[in-house]
Amino acid sequence: QIYKEQLNTRVVLVAVETWTEKDHINIHPDPLQMLHDFSKYRQHYIKQHADAVHLLSNVTFHYKRSSLSYFGGVCSVTRGVGVNE
């Protein structure tokens, strides 16, 4: 089931971080594991304020998902993250 609703919001890009030397978390085809790992990374290493942060991974996820995030997590340091293929 896909949940989509028009929100009438504006998205502002605050910063871009590019990992060129190495991955700072384990890049994994399990989107739940990668979401958990990226949440921990955000809590410890991303100091700039943002309501949500997203990781574009360039890996194909299992379970026929192209992205994953926590429901209701925006504005939370621990849950305001998402991961994409």
Q: 47-75 pLDDT, tens per residue?
A: 999 999 999 999 999 888 899 999 888 89
- Which position has the higher pLDDT, 4 or 37? 37
**Cβ neighbours of 31 (radius 10 Å):** 22
Give the neighbor-by-neighbor strand order of the sheet with 67-69. 53-56, 81-84, 67-69
Q: Name the pTM for this structure.
A: 0.84
Percent of the chain with pLDDT over 90: 68
Q: Which two tokens stand for residue 18?
A: 């590019």
First-to-last C-alpha distance (Å) of the chain = 19
- Residue 11's pLDDT is 83
Compute the distance between CA of residue 15 and CA of residue 28 in angstroms, rounded to an integer.
Answer: 24
Domain ranges in the chain are 31-84
- Residue 5's pLDDT is 76
